[in-house]
């Protein structure tokens, strides 16, 4: 999602910035792609941050779905960095050489990595127990990474996410198997 925070040069995270015109165009392109190539989603969830809810509304409209908002899918809580200009944030809250997984994101607060992982698991549980066989999740790169790391057991991995790109995962209800069948898919966007 191309959000205003990108253009403003500020930390996004929990900063509740709206989509830009580019972000809306990307979402409309994805909606058109899915209208022509129906993905078969039977349920949709979205973060409650504006850039996600706006994206979700655009991409689910042609699918006849109403996305269910949940705060569990909000981006990483970067505490006082949210909305701060990048240079100011670096000066006021320098990144330590080491941060324990149980420590707050900054001296001024924010989510620890342990709390973030726990929230990702809770979001996965909500989606799993919510029913649906083909579920769409509209969220943010950080929380989507945390969810994929929990599903795959790759706790130090990082999965690339471009704006409006998607990842497909197949889960079994008969085993603990999670198969990532595609990562950072963007067939609706021109090649860079």
CATH code where residue 87 lies = 3.40.50.1240
- Tens of pLDDT along 7-22? 777 788 887 888 999 9
Q: Is 14 annotated as a binding residue?
A: no
Mean residue pLDDT of the chain comes to 92
- Tens of pLDDT along 133-155? 999 999 999 999 999 999 999 98
Q: Which of 72, 73, 53 is nearest to 61 (CA)?
A: 53
Full-model pTM: 0.92
Block residue for tokens 């198969």? 179
**Pairing of the two strands 166-171 and 68-69:** unpaired
Domain count, the chain: 1
Residue 44 lies in a domain: yes
Domain range enclosing 178: 4-185
Contact 164, 1 (CB under 8 A): yes
Summarize the confidence of residues 105-113 as an average pLDDT.
90
Instruction: Give the pLDDT band (50/70/90) at residue 3.
Output: confident
Q: Is 136 helix (H, G, I), strand (E, B) or coil?
A: strand
Residue 130 lies in a domain: yes
**Which of 1-5, 109-113, 131-135 shows the lowest per-residue confidence on average (mean pLDDT)?**
1-5
Report the length, in residues, of the chain. Answer: 192
């Amino acid at each position: 999602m191309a959000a205003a925070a990108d253009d403003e040069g500020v930390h996004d995270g929990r900063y509740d910035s709206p989509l830009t015109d580019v972000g809306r165009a990307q979402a409309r392109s994805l909606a058109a792609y899915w209208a022509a190539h129906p993905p078969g989603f039977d349920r949709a969830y979205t973060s409650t941050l504006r850039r996600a809810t706006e994206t979700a509304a655009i991409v689910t409209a042609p699918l006849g779905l109403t996305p269910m908002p949940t705060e569990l899918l909000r981006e990483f809580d970067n505490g006082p960095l949210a909305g701060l200009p990048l240079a100011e944030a670096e000066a006021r809250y320098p990144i330590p050489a080491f941060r324990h997984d149980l420590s707050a994101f900054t001296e001024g607060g924010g989510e620890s990595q342990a709390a973030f992982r726990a929230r990702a698991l809770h979001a996965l549980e909500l989606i799993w127990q919510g029913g649906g066989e083909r579920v769409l999740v509209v969220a943010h790169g950080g929380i989507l990474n945390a969810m994929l790391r929990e599903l795959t057991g790759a706790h130090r991995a990082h999965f690339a996410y471009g704006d409006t790109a998607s990842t497909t995962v197949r889960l079994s209800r008969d085993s603990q198997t999670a198969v990532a069948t595609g990562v950072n898919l963007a067939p609706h966007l021109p090649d860079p």
